[in-house]
Chain A
Amino acid sequence: MKQYYALMVAGMSLICVSCKKFVSISPPMDQAQTDEIFSNDQAAISAVVGLYSQIMFSGNTILNSASTLYPSLSSDELINTVANPDYDSFRSNDILLSATGHNRLWRNGYRYIYHTNTVLAGLAKSIMITDSIRKQLSGEMLVMRALCYSQLSSLYGKVPLVLSKDYELNLSMPQTTLDSINHQIVTDLISAKSLLKEQYPTVGRMRPNKWTATALLARMYLNMKDWSSANQQATEVLNNSVYSLVPNLNNVFLSGSAEAILQITPVGTINTTDGNMFNPATATTRPSFALTTSLLNAFEANDQRKNSWTKTVTVSGQSYTHPYKYKVRTGGAPYTELYCYFRLAEQYLIRAEARAQLDDITGAQQDLNKIRNRAGLPNTTANTKAALLQAIERERRIEFMFEWGHRWADLKRWDRANAVLSPIKGTSWQTTDQLYPIPEAEIELNPFLVQNPGY
C-alpha cells in the first residue's frame, strides 16, 4: 500500500506545481497600455489625434453636430419636419429626462473630457516625451477640454468639473459653480496660449494652435461680460495676417478657408455630419430639418447669406428651407468641406459687441460692417450703444444661424430668451427651459447631482 500512496503523493505534487507563469499572459497585441503610449512621441500624438478622429467618427455629438442641432431646435432656428420624440422634446422645450440627445451631449462630452484628462495626466507624468511635443499636445488637450466645458455649461448650467481620470473620485462629484467652471476654462486657455505655437502642428488648420485658444478665450470673456478682455483677445486674433474673411460666402466652410481658425477634418465616408444631416438625400426627399418662419423672416432684404447658406426645396407641394452652410451630403476623402469650430467672423462680432459695450461706437460699427458688407448688406445705421447692440444681436442671429448653438447661447447671455421665445413657443415655454435637465440616468447614478429647476 505504502508505495501506492507515495506514488499518489508524488503525482499530486508534480501536478500541483501550477506554474504562475502559464497564466501570466502578455498584454493584447491590438491594444496599447497607457504607460507605453506616454513613453513615445508618436504614440502620444496618436492619443491626441485619436480624440479628433473619435469626434468626427461619432458624428452627432457635443463637439460636432449635436451642439448645432439641439440648441437650434430649442431656440428659434430650426424645426424637425418628421416626428421624433427626441427632437420633438428639444424643440418644444419639454426635454425628456431620458432623451437620446443627452447621450450625444452629456455622455459624449464627459467621454471627451476623460480623453483629455487621461492624456494630460500621461503627459505630465511622462519623462520620455520631447518637451516641445509635450507642450503642443498639452495645449491642444486644454483647448478641447475648455471647449467641452464651455458647451456643457452653456447647455446644462452647473456641471461637475472633472479634471482627473480617477473614477472613484469622480463618480460622486457634485455640480461645480459656474464661476469655478468659467475660471477653470479661462485658466486652461491662458496656459494653452502659452503652450501652443502660432503655427498649426500639421498641414491645414486641423489641430488647435495658439489663436484657437485665443479665439475661445475671447468668446469666454464675452460670456463673462469682461468686455475689455474680450476686446483684447479678439484683437489679438484679428491682428493676425493669416486669417481673413472669405469674400465668397459659398467658400467659408470649404477646406483651406482663410477665415477658419480651427476646422477639424472628417474621417469617414461623409464630409461633415451637418452636411449629411441637413441636406436631403434626393430632390423628392423632405429635408429632416427646416428653418423656422421666424428665422426666415429675420433676413434683411438682399442678404446674400439667405441664398448661400440656406436652400429651399419643394416636396409634395410644400416648400422647406433647410440649412446649407455645408453643402456636401456624402462622399469620403478627399474632403471638400471641413467642420469649422472657430472662424474669424465670430472674432469681429465679439469685438464689435465688446467695443459697443465699452462705448467705442465707431470701432463697433467698423467690425459689424465687415460682416454686413460681406453679406451684401450696407453699413449699419445704428449709432448709439443700444442700437448697436440690437444690430449686433440681429447680425449674430444670421451670421451664426445653426452654427454651434450660438443663437441659443446668445439669447441666454443677453437675457433675451424669455422675450424672444415665449411668443414663438407659446405655453410650452417656461423661464426654466433655458437650461437643459440633468439626464435622469446621471442623477440616478450620482445622487449628489441636483436637477435643474423646472424639471
Chain B
Amino acid sequence: MKLTACVLALLCSIVCMAQQEKIQGRIVNDIDEPVIGATVSLKNTSIAAITGRDGSFVLQLKEPLNNDDTLVISSVGYINQSLPASRFSGSSSSSTVILIKRITELDEAVVIAYGTTTRRLNLGSITKVSGADIEKQPVSNPLATLAGRVPGLVVTQTSGVPGSHVSLQIRGRASLDLDISRNDPLFIIDGVPFETGNLPVGQLTSAANRPFRSNLDPPEGISPFNSINPQDIESIEILKDADATAIYGSRGANGVILITTKKAKPGKTKLTINYQTGMSQPARLQEMMTTAEYVEMRKEAFANDGIAMTTANAPDILLWDTTHYNDFSKLLITNNSQTTQVQTTVSGGNNYTQFQIGGGYRKETTTFPGSFANTRGSFQMNVFHSPQSKKWDIRVSAIYSSDRNRLLSVDLARFLLLPPLLKLYNDDGSLKTQDAGINYSSASLVNPLLELEKKYNSLNKNLSANLQFNYRIFNGFTFRTSFGYSTFDNEEFTVIPKSYYPPETSTLASSTQTTSSRNSWIVEPQLVYDLKRKKLEMQFLAGTTFQHQDFQSLYAVGEGYTNDLLLQSLDAAATIRASNSKSEYRYNAAFGRINFNWRSKYLVNISGRRDGSSRFGPGKQFANFGAVGIGWIFTAEPWLQNQRILSFGKIRSSFGVTGNDQVGNYRYLDLWNSTSNPYQGIPGLFPATLFNPDYNWERNRKLEAAIELGFFNDGLMLNIAWYRHRCSNQLVEYMLPSQTGFTSVTKNLPALVENRGWEIDFQTTNIRRKELLWKTNFNISFPVNKLISFPGLAGSPYAGVYKEGHSLSVLEKYTYLGVDPLTGVYTFLDINGDGNINGLDETIIGDMDPDYYGGLGNSISWKQFQIDAFFEFRDQMGKTVLSETSTRPGTFRNQPAIFRDRWRKPGDVAMFQKYSTVTSTTIPTGRAAQLLGNSDGAYTNGSYVRFKTLAISYNLSEMVLRKLKIQTGQLYLQAQNLATITNFSGNDPENMVFYQTPPLRTIVAGIKLTL
C-alpha cells in the first residue's frame, strides 16, 4: 500500500516537473483478459506502475531509455516477464504483453459449485483427483479410483464381480437410518445431477449382490457408475465443508462429488489410441476344509454330540463317497478374469472453436466358470464455440454409454460352504441333481454348476447431455445458463430354464424381466457480476434451479415355459405376472453467492440457497440453507516477504447449514398398492405403508478450520484441516412394533450426530533434476463419529442399536473368555454374576469406524520412464467369519480351515470349541456359538495396508516417434490391489464379507499412441 502510494506520488511529481519520455503498454492474459493490478517496473530504478482496469500502464521516465533497459512485469499467479523497455517507448506506440499463468499446483483450476477457482483462493474443503491419477488405475468404476486418495473419503468395493457396487462415505455417517439415507453424496457430472446417485438401479438379484444380505446392509447391485468410463474424466472434485457444499442446499449434507469430463483444448488435431489388456484374480481368499478334514469334522461332531449317524442325519458320511474332493474356490471363483479395453479420442480446434470426440470399449470377464462378462461401450463428445468478439460462448457436452452385464443370479462364492465331497457329475458326464437319494434342492445343498444355468443379464444405458451458454452482457456482467438432460435406462432379465431343474420334477422354466427408466431435466439460469478493481475482486452470483425427474419401472414374471427356447419371450410363457411403478420428483431453488477478494489476501465467501422439494408434504417443502467462508493468505503480508522458507500460507474457516432430502417420494401420502394378482378377476389393493404428513428436512451444520502451507517455493505443500459436522432433525424410518401393521414409519427424530476429525495431507517434490523427478503425496484422516444426544433413546426402537456418546457403528458385545479346557465350549464373562449370559452382560467393545485411513503415493519419472506407486491404508476393527450364522463347524456345511484348531478332549487348549452337528441354541455348543458371534471374540484387527496401484510407463523416444511419424507413444503396465498386508483372517479386510467374490487383483499391459 504505502510503497504504491509513494510510487504514485513520485510519478505525479515527475509528471508535474516536465514533459518527459514515457513508456506505455497493456497487459493481458492468454485468453485476452486484462491483467489488473500487475506491477510494471523499470529494472534497477524505482520507477514502477500498476496496471489499471483495462490492463494498461504508463511509466513516466526521468531520463531517456538506454538500449539495455529492461521492463519487469509481475503479477500474482503469473510468471514474471522481463522485456526490453525500448519496445514500449515512443509517443504513439502501445504494445501488448501476454502474461503466462504460473502453473504451480496452487494455481491449478479447481472446479467448485457453479464455477472454478484455484487452490490458492479456495475457501472450501475440496480435494481434486486428476484424470491422470484416474487413468493409471485399471478399474472400470470411476468411484473405485478414489480409494485412499481423498482425505475424509472412505471408499469400499463391495464385491469382485465386475460392475458391482462401490460405496462412498464423506466424513462419516451422519444419518441414523440407512434405509432412508445412505449418506450418499450428491453426484454432479458437468453440472448435471446424476440422479441415480450411487443407488443400484436394478430390481433383480444377481451375482453382483451380496449373497447373504440382511436388512442392515444397504442394497447393492450393479453400480450405475460402472456405466461411466473413467477415461472420459478430466477430474473428480470432492466437496466436503459448508463453504463448498452449502450452495447445493438440501442435497449437500453428505458432501458433493463433481465429475468433470475431458474438455477440448485449442491446438493441433490429435488422435489418441489407448489399448490395454490384462487379467484379474481374487486378491485374497480364505482357506476352506478339504474332504478329509470335513469328514473328520462331521464324525467328530456326531461323537461329541453322542448322536448316532443315520442315513437321515448324516447322508454325506454314510451314503456318499467320503474320498471325493472338490476345491470349490478353485472351481467356482478363481478362474482368470480377462480385461480388454480400447479408447480412442480425437480432439482439436482453435481459440474460437474446439471439439473432442471419444469412444471406448471395455470387456471384463468374471472369475466364475462360463462366459460371463461385463462389456461397456461409451461415447463422449464436446464442442465449444465463441465468436471472435468473445461476447458469448457455448459448450455442448454429452456422454453416452451402454453397460451390459452378463452374469448369473448368485455369486458362486456362497457355495464355498457346500460339503467338499459333493459329487457334481454323473457317470455319463451330466450334472448330478441328487446323490444316493439325497436331492440337491435346498438353499444350502445345490449343484453349483447348475446355478450357472440361472443367467442374469443387465443393460444400463446412460445419457447425460449438457449445454452451457455464457453471454457477457456488458462490463463484468455475464448471463449464463445450463440446460441438462439425463436419462438412465436399465433392463434386466433372469431365466431359470427347465435344464436347471432335475429332469423328473414337473417344475417349468420361468423368466423375469424388468425395465426402469429415469429421465431428468434441469435448467439453471444464472447472473454473474465480476467486479475487478486494483485491490478488490468481487463476484456476485445469483441463480435458480428448476429440476424435474420422473421414474418408471416395470417388472414382469413369465412362468410355465414348456421349453427353454424362448425364455426371453413373455408371449411364450403360460402365465404372466407384472407390476409397475411410477413416480415424480420436482425440485426448485434460488441460490446466490458473493466472493470477496482483497488483494489476494483477505477472502470472504457468502452463499445461500432456498430449496423446495416435492418429497415433503404441503407446508414443509421449502427451507433455507447457507454458509460463510473466510480466509487470510498471510504470506501476502509484507512482514512475511523477506524469508525464503514459507512460500505460501493460508488460514481458512467456514460455517454453514446444508440439508438432506434423500427420502423416498410420496411418503407423506396414505397410499395403497395394487396386488400382484386380482382376486376372482377383481383387482386388489393393499395399504402400501404407514404415512406421516409432517416430516421435514434433515439438517447438517458444518464447521471447518484449516491451514494450508507451502514451503521452499511450494516444494512442500501441507494442509491441515479440522472439521465438525452436526446432523440433526434426523429423518428415519422409525422402527415400529409390527402390531402397528407395519415395521416402520418415516419420521424426524431430534437426535444429533456429530462427525469431527482431522485431515492432513502433504505433497512434496523430493528431487527435481533434469531427467529425474520424484514426488510424494500423503494423506491421513482421523475421523470421530458420535451420537451426541438422542432424547428418549432408552425407550425407543433404537435402544439396542445406538448408544449416546458413541459411534453409530458402536459394538455392544459379550466378553469372550476362550474355550473351557474341560467342556470344550466357548465361555463368556458373566458381568453381573447372575449365572446367565444375556443382554445385561454386554459391554461396549468399540466401533466399526476406521480409526484412521489414508494413502501414500510416490511418483518418479526418470528419463522416459514413469513409475507411480500408491498404497492405501485403513486402521479399523474387523468382523471375522465367527460372526456368520453359517459358521457352525460340525454341521452339513463346509467350514473355514481355521477350525482345525478345535477342542477334542478334556485338557485341550484350543482356539475353537468342539465340533457339533446341532445348531439349536438350547444345547451348550449351539448357544455358545451364537454368543460367540455376538462377542468380542468375533472381532479382530481389520487394519490393512494395500498396494493399491502400481503404474509403470515408458515413453517412446523422439527418434522412434519421428520414425513412426506419431506425436507421442507410451507403453505401460498397471496393477491394482497388487498386495495386501493384514492380519485379517477372512477374505478381504476392505469389505469384510464372507462367501462372496472378494475385490480382484488386476494386472494389465497397454499402449497409448497419439497420431
Contact = CB atoms under 8 A, between A and B. Distances in A.
B40 to A, nearest CB: 28
Contacts of B437: 284, 286, 315-317
B680 A202 contact: yes
Interface string A244-285: 000000000000000000000101110000000000011111
Contacts of A45: 682
A341 to B, nearest CB: 14
A22 B611 CA distance: 12
Contacts of A8: 527, 529, 540, 542
Contact of B688 (A31, A117, A317): A31
B685 interface: yes
A27 interface: yes
Contacts of A429: none
Interface in B555-589: 559-560, 574-575, 577, 580-589
A2 interface: no
A318 B313 CA distance: 12
B687 interface: yes
Interface in B665-695: 665-666, 669-680, 682-688, 690
A18 B739 contact: no
Interface stretch (B402-410, B794-802, B946-954): B794-802
Given A267-B678, A444-B799, A281 B506 contact: yes
Nearest to A175: B739
A22 B612 contact: yes
B388 interface: no
B921 interface: yes
Contact of A282 (B504, B546, B680): B504
A38 to B, nearest CB: 10
Contact of A54 (B544, B584, B587, B675): B675
Contacts, number: 264
A444 B684 contact: no
A142 B575 CA distance: 34
A47 B673 CA distance: 10
Contact of A316 (B438, B588, B614): B438
Given A110-B738, A442-B738, A442-B739, A24 B679 contact: no
Contacts of B670: 33-35
Contacts of A88: 919-920
B825 to A, nearest CB: 18
A441 B737 CA distance: 7
A22 B954 CA distance: 56
Interface string B698-720: 00000000000000000000000
Contact of A32 (B434, B544, B685): B685
B739 A54 contact: no
Interface stretch (A89-97, A190-198, A228-236): A89-97
Interface stretch (A68-76, A162-170, A213-221, A295-303): A162-170
Interface stretch (B41-49, B107-115, B740-748, B1000-1008): B740-748
A20 B620 CA distance: 11
A332 to B, nearest CB: 5
A12 B742 contact: no
Contacts of B313: 83
A122 to B, nearest CB: 10
A449 interface: yes
B349 interface: no
Interface string A37-74: 10000010111011111101100000000000000000
Contacts of A173: 739
A115 B687 contact: yes
Contact of A96 (B502, B506, B666, B921): B921
A15 interface: yes
Contacts of A339: none
A167 B584 contact: no
B671 A115 contact: no
A4 to B, nearest CB: 6
Interface in B18-58: none
A82 B583 contact: no
A41 to B, nearest CB: 12
B679 A170 contact: no
Nearest to A94: B922
Nearest to A114: B741
Interface in A440-455: 441-442, 444-447, 449
Contacts of B921: 94, 96
B669 A27 contact: yes
A423 interface: no
Given A267-B678, A315-B437, A446-B737, A12 B542 contact: yes
B544 A15 contact: yes
A332 B560 contact: yes
Interface in A1-35: 4, 7-8, 11-12, 15-16, 18-20, 22-35
A437 interface: no
Q: Which 3 A-B pairs have the closest CB atoms?
A: A114-B741, A316-B437, A50-B684
11 contacts: A8-B527, A12-B592, A15-B543, A20-B621, A30-B674, A50-B672, A50-B675, A269-B560, A281-B505, A428-B922, A441-B737
Given A23-B622, A265-B680, 13 more contacts: A28-B665, A32-B671, A32-B672, A50-B675, A52-B684, A54-B684, A56-B677, A94-B921, A111-B742, A167-B736, A265-B679, A282-B505, A447-B795
